[in-house]
Amino acid sequence: MNTAVFTSAFAGETQTPSKLSALAKSIVDALVESRARSAARELRRHEAFLSDLGRRQDHSPLFLIQDNALPFKV
């Protein structure tokens, strides 16, 4: 009786990621996610600042009454 032994070494080169590359990939993924969250936070802060600035200018009496000469054109 003949028995065939099949090992993965004869099947071809299969590349398994090393622990170092897996660690580097997880670090890069975490860094990208952190930067995306930081950018989203900055964007929300900027949008809130612009809406607050627009609200202040719309309701400010100094903005509504511009009788005095301004040094620049609004």
Percent of the chain with pLDDT over 70: 53
| List of residues 6+ apart from 57 with CB closer than 8 A | 63
pLDDT digits (tens, 9 = 90+) for 15-47: 667 899 999 999 999 999 999 999 999 999 999
The helix (H) or strand (E) run that includes residue 64 is: helix 61-64
What is the residue whose two structure tokens read 């930081």? 38
66 and 74 Cβ atoms separated by less than 8 Å: yes
